[in-house]
Structure 1
Amino acid sequence: MSGTPLTQDEAQLAALGYTSEFRREMSLWANFSLGFTYLSPVVGIYTLFASSLAAGGPPMIWSLLVVGVGQLLVALVFGEIVSQYPVAGGLYPWARRLWGRKWAWLTGWVYAVALLVTIASVTYGSGPYLAALLDLEPSTGTTVLCALGMIALATLLNSGGTRLLGLAAIIGFTTEILGALAVGGWLLLTERHQDLGVLFDGAGTSAAHGGSYLGAFLAASLIGVFQYYGFEACGDVAEEVPRAGARIPRAMRMTIYVGGAAATFVCLALVLSVPDIGAVVSGEDADPVSGVLGAAFGTWGARVVLGIVLISFLSCALSLQAAASRLLYSYARDRMLPGSGRLSRISRRQGVPPYALGVAAVVPALVVLASRVSEDATTKIISFAVLGIYLGFQMVVLAALRARLKGWRPSGSFTLGRWGLAVNAAALVYGVAAMVNMVWPRTPEAAWYDDYLTLLSGAVVVGAGLVVLVTTRPYRHGTAAYGDAVSEGVSSGRTVSPSPPERSAGPSG
């Protein structure tokens, strides 16, 4: 770019020590669509509706509002951070600037493992739907093959570059939101069996919790906890969005608003369309979603709905894989991973990191294949996915609160002003409470290690990361700046250049 004036985005990145090789071809709507399809209200609601309704009855729908407010607080904190640090990779570079190299490496480790496992869980979850659409015999083998096909298709689309990724995200968003409105509206018009009063009826679920409905609601609220993440993906592709500092915080908030509204509407339509809620609570009706859709749309109509659901699954996998590949690239650009030279390469033709994208395809495929050996082992691995994402979120929220108390004053185009400290603290309280709810033991009749499965899986992943961190000390490599948010905030409240601009490690391929 010698002799060419820097754009505002390029100048901001140069001040942060980077020169990007990505193409800024992702519009605000494409960026929002990426976050929306990652959040995917159809995937989240359809996957967890039966278990949440059985655990807490119809009032479980209110958890979508409670969790939505909590995650909006997190999104506001992230908006301030990405506005000042619009760097590819999201959580890892944010933690690096706010706290330091070690904290950032561990944050990225937790988030990377969670993302890769979530890709596996989403594609594996799509297997039965794809098998049903293709009239294949349901089995573990069929589900595995369908999941691998979904990973391969997502990888192919992601390899096409930023413009194709943005287009695919917009198509996925449009299909999912129109499908959610059409399906939900038709159910309310033709299959409504309950009135709105049922939303305040626990359907006897409190009996399993000593007569208190709070325990039942907290167990059922996992449908909300598992629903509201994905907005961070908007920031993972920050170097591919023009005017990223202003647009990405807005896209994050839009993801919460629109995704939350769509999820609540779908959930409401399903609740009011279940003919016998007591049968779901008792376990007699283990799959109310299929029953409701079959009754409302018939055989061919149900196939159309299956197609919409599968597009939602594919879009979700596509967004997850894009986020994971940018995270790995960001790690490698700072020389924090083995093989950083290759993982930090950007294809000149497509403008994507092909080797990082390859890892984001191979690792989830291996997790899916593990189900052929032991379905129970796969369940144990996947149980960490959502906890890991929340933990990664809260590691950044904590880093932001720590930096703020030490003098950091966000200086991007989006700030919360005097409300920043209160919102930051509230976001941390919410996140910790959500994680406690996730790991809370609720099956005392099971073996202790199954009752504490999510907590144990989280401890294993974090423990493994600490072992790697202590024994290999990967944070020693690279010259990228770290922990400079506080010094910037104290000195001038403005973003300053911490080091000379640094190009990505490794030549472009």
Structure 2
Amino acid sequence: MTGEAARDRDAEHLSSLGYESKFRREMSPWANFALGFTYLSPVVGIYTLFAFGLMAGGPAMIWWLVIVGLGQLLVALVFGEVVSQYPVAGGVYPWARRLWGRKWAWMTGWVYLVALLTTIAAVVYGSGPYLAQLLSFAPGTASTITCALILLGIALAINMMGTKWLAYAAMIGFTAELLGALAVGSWLLLTERHHGLGAVFSTEGAGGDGGYFAAFTAAALIGIFQYYGFEACGDVAEEVPDPTRRIPKAMRMTIYVGGAAAIFVCLSLLLAVSDYAAVIGGQDPDPVTSVLHAAFGEEGTKVVLIVVMLSFLSCTLSLMAAASRLMYAYARDDMIMGSHLLRKFDETRHVPPYTMLVGAAVPAVIVLGSIFSTKALTSIISFATLGIYLGFHMVTFAALRARLKGWVPSGPFNLGRWGMAVNVIALAYGVLAMINMAWPRTPDAPWYDNWLVALSAAVGVGIGAIYLTVARRHERSDAAHGDAASGRPGTSPERILD
């Protein structure tokens, strides 16, 4: 099939789903995978939470990268079936719309959008100390905020340049992060290895007198935070040629390659930490910096920090792209306040500029809020941790409901008779992960601090539910909804060819 014929086929399939795209299909399969990889970002995830994971669960915390990776692979398989049938920009919102209906889709999109915007704030804020080190800024709140805003500005500028530049940036970020992770990890294993592989089965006293099970489950957060990003491959479904086949594959590759890289990065750092007791006891609160300085010296560490900052930038780019496409999908169906602006397109660069501005402005406001209250920032970021998973599993639940009502995935990628079992296990995994995230672990703290994650999620969902009830935005669109189990024609590219 010629390139033009393939584009016509993609456009005809999208038209059968009720949409006409203004995006250009300029993102290659490799760039689509790179977008998911840089969103997942092994370096960002591990470098940000390595100290927490080691303090909470000792060296054995690395096994959560395997456990969560397997759980999220099941989620990616379910998402792959859905996007293969409904390759529409915006990801979880249009998927939930077709699987269930307008109200469920609106709440799914709301939860995930708020979580995405706060995650962008978390990533750029987390990059602040590394960029401050690189630029020799004095450490502190002011320098962290300044560095975070610089990163947001750069990501916005690149995203505004269009799909092709986003694809270039994703590929550059992927290459730099993967090669950098392999180079740094290999050097640490060769020159700074203080422990044998048996260390990964060691607790090193983590958990103290309280027992290790509670400590180990708390350490699960390093894996839970690591393994999302694969869904970004589907957020840009209208920018990828032959998305029904290529996006499910890119999602799986994101888990395979990103997970393997994360495990390698974590293992190399674990074996390079000279004194586990000092980290677990709090005497060495930043073991990543300690390891890098020991292995590379001050100047060598700055070279490593350049790779780290490229990883943070690439991750921010991918997050912002995902958030902008979700907002655009919302606005195209007139489902959100300001839809007349958010659905506007830059006809030169073929991107929705106002959604990108929101995708940078809201995280900037969240970051600036840390000037007044670090606890307020923590509360908002806490919602992101649970909100991402809640958005995910509102889709897996909708998919399971649709299966029980007769939905049989009809895209080129489907799990066949294994679909139901995979869907059930993926949803069960997600529920257990969310319970683990929200579980109170500080009995000596005030109740509102102990239940911070659950409370912040409840507030976020509650605000969305009130807005949905009062504004009734879900009623403003006549676009197709809740038709997955109906067996209506026009939902599979094979039917178009017939």
TM-score by length of 1: 0.95
Summarize the Cα distance change of 1:474–1:110 in structure 2 as closer, same or farther, 3 Å threshold: same
Which residue identity does 1:203 align to in structure 2?
E
Check if 1:426 corresponds to 2:428: no
Check if 1:136 corresponds to 2:117: no
Percent identical among aligned pairs is 64
1:337 Cα shift? Answer: 1.1
Check if 1:57 corresponds to 2:58: yes
Aligned residue in 2 for 1:39: 40
Which residue identity does 2:187 align to in structure 1?
W
Aligned residue in 2 for 1:463: 462
1:333 Cα shift? Answer: 0.2
In 2, Cα distance between the equivalents of 1:388 and 1:481? 26
In the TM superposition, what whole-angstrom CA distance separates every residue of 1:76-107 from its partner, at most 9, and x where no partner exists? 00000000000000000000000000000000
Task: Report the 3-state secondary structure (helix = DSSP H, G, I; strand = E; otherwise coil) of the residue aligned with 1:384.
Answer: helix
In the TM superposition, what whole-angstrom CA distance separates every residue of 1:334-391 from its partner, at most 9, and x where no partner exists? 0101221211111110010001111111111111111111111111101111210000
- Is the contact made by 1:77 and 1:420 (CA closer than 8 Å) also made in structure 2? yes
Summarize the Cα distance change of 1:13–1:289 in structure 2 as closer, same or farther, 3 Å threshold: same
- Is the contact made by 2:13 and 2:491 (CA closer than 8 Å) also made in structure 1? no
1:40 Cα shift? Answer: 0.4
Aligned residue in 1 for 2:183: 182
Summarize the Cα distance change of 1:15–1:360 in structure 2 as closer, same or farther, 3 Å threshold: same
In 1, Cα distance between the equivalents of 2:125 and 2:54? 23
In the TM superposition, what whole-angstrom CA distance separates every residue of 1:437-473 from its partner, at most 9, and x where no partner exists? 0011111111111111000000000011110111111
In 2, Cα distance between the equivalents of 1:37 and 1:277? 30
Check if 1:315 corresponds to 2:314: yes
In the TM superposition, what whole-angstrom CA distance separates every residue of 1:217-259 from its partner, at most 9, and x where no partner exists? 1111110011000000000000000000100000000000000
- Is the contact made by 2:36 and 2:251 (CA closer than 8 Å) also made in structure 1? yes
Aligned residue in 1 for 2:282: 283
Moved over 6 A (4+): none
Aligned residue in 2 for 1:116: 117
1:162 Cα shift? Answer: 0.3
Task: Report the 3-state secondary structure (helix = DSSP H, G, I; strand = E; otherwise coil) of the residue aligned with 2:390.
Answer: helix
In 1, Cα distance between the equivalents of 2:50 and 2:306? 19
Aligned residue in 1 for 2:218: 219
- Is the contact made by 1:123 and 1:150 (CA closer than 8 Å) also made in structure 2? yes
1:495 Cα shift? Answer: 4.1
Which residue identity does 1:207 align to in structure 2?
G
- Is the contact made by 2:13 and 2:490 (CA closer than 8 Å) also made in structure 1? no
Aligned residue in 2 for 1:14: 15
Check if 1:156 corresponds to 2:135: no
Question: For 1:56-95, what aligned pairs fall within 5 Å after superposition?
Answer: 56-95=57-96
1:206 Cα shift? Answer: 3.7
Which residue identity does 1:58 align to in structure 2?
P
TM-score by length of 2: 0.97
In the TM superposition, what whole-angstrom CA distance separates every residue of 1:293-327 from its partner, at most 9, and x where no partner exists? 00100111100011111010000000000000000
Which residue identity does 1:170 align to in structure 2?
M
- Is the contact made by 1:78 and 1:249 (CA closer than 8 Å) also made in structure 2? yes
In the TM superposition, what whole-angstrom CA distance separates every residue of 1:116-155 from its partner, at most 9, and x where no partner exists? 0111110111111111111111111111111111111000
Which residue identity does 1:344 align to in structure 2?
R
Aligned residue in 1 for 2:496: none
Which residue identity does 2:137 align to in structure 1?
L
Summarize the Cα distance change of 1:410–1:493 in structure 2 as closer, same or farther, 3 Å threshold: farther
Summarize the Cα distance change of 1:308–1:208 in structure 2 as closer, same or farther, 3 Å threshold: farther
Task: Report the 3-state secondary structure (helix = DSSP H, G, I; strand = E; otherwise coil) of the residue aligned with 1:263.
Answer: helix
Task: Report the 3-state secondary structure (helix = DSSP H, G, I; strand = E; otherwise coil) of the residue aligned with 2:226.
Answer: coil
- Is the contact made by 1:95 and 1:396 (CA closer than 8 Å) also made in structure 2? yes
In 2, Cα distance between the equivalents of 1:143 and 1:216? 30
Question: For 1:178-327, what aligned pairs fall within 5 Å after superposition?
Answer: 178-209=179-210, 211=211, 213-327=212-326
Which residue identity does 1:355 align to in structure 2?
Y
In 1, Cα distance between the equivalents of 2:201 and 2:390? 32
Which residue identity does 2:366 align to in structure 1?
V
1:190 Cα shift? Answer: 0.2
In 2, Cα distance between the equivalents of 1:354 and 1:458? 29
- Is the contact made by 1:409 and 1:493 (CA closer than 8 Å) also made in structure 2? no
Task: Report the 3-state secondary structure (helix = DSSP H, G, I; strand = E; otherwise coil) of the residue aligned with 1:95.
Answer: helix
Which residue identity does 2:11 align to in structure 1?
E
Summarize the Cα distance change of 1:439–1:16 in structure 2 as closer, same or farther, 3 Å threshold: same
Task: Report the 3-state secondary structure (helix = DSSP H, G, I; strand = E; otherwise coil) of the residue aligned with 2:161.
Answer: coil
In 2, Cα distance between the equivalents of 1:119 and 1:206? 31
In 1, Cα distance between the equivalents of 2:259 and 2:122? 21
In the TM superposition, what whole-angstrom CA distance separates every residue of 1:238-284 from its partner, at most 9, and x where no partner exists? 00000001000000000000000000000000111111111111111
Question: For 1:343-492, what aligned pairs fall within 5 Å after superposition?
Answer: 343-488=342-487
1:214 Cα shift? Answer: 1.8
1:208 Cα shift? Answer: 4.1
Task: Report the 3-state secondary structure (helix = DSSP H, G, I; strand = E; otherwise coil) of the residue aligned with 1:329.
Answer: helix
Check if 1:146 corresponds to 2:144: no
CA RMSD in angstroms comes to 1.4
In 2, Cα distance between the equivalents of 1:494 and 1:285? 56
Task: Report the 3-state secondary structure (helix = DSSP H, G, I; strand = E; otherwise coil) of the residue aligned with 1:147.
Answer: helix
In the TM superposition, what whole-angstrom CA distance separates every residue of 1:32-54 from its partner, at most 9, and x where no partner exists? 00000000000000111111111
In 2, Cα distance between the equivalents of 1:206 and 1:295? 28
- Is the contact made by 2:17 and 2:490 (CA closer than 8 Å) also made in structure 1? no
Which residue identity does 1:442 align to in structure 2?
R
Task: Report the 3-state secondary structure (helix = DSSP H, G, I; strand = E; otherwise coil) of the residue aligned with 1:18.
Answer: coil
Aligned residue in 2 for 1:127: 128
Which residue identity does 2:175 align to in structure 1?
T
- Is the contact made by 2:233 and 2:247 (CA closer than 8 Å) also made in structure 1? yes
In 2, Cα distance between the equivalents of 1:492 and 1:233? 27
In 1, Cα distance between the equivalents of 2:202 and 2:270? 12
In 2, Cα distance between the equivalents of 1:262 and 1:485? 36
- Is the contact made by 2:17 and 2:491 (CA closer than 8 Å) also made in structure 1? no
- Is the contact made by 1:442 and 1:451 (CA closer than 8 Å) also made in structure 2? yes
In the TM superposition, what whole-angstrom CA distance separates every residue of 1:24-71 from its partner, at most 9, and x where no partner exists? 000000000000000000000011111111111111001100000000
- Is the contact made by 1:154 and 1:314 (CA closer than 8 Å) also made in structure 2? yes
Give the count of matched residue pairs. 490
Q: Which runs of 5+ in 1 are unaligned?
A: 497-509
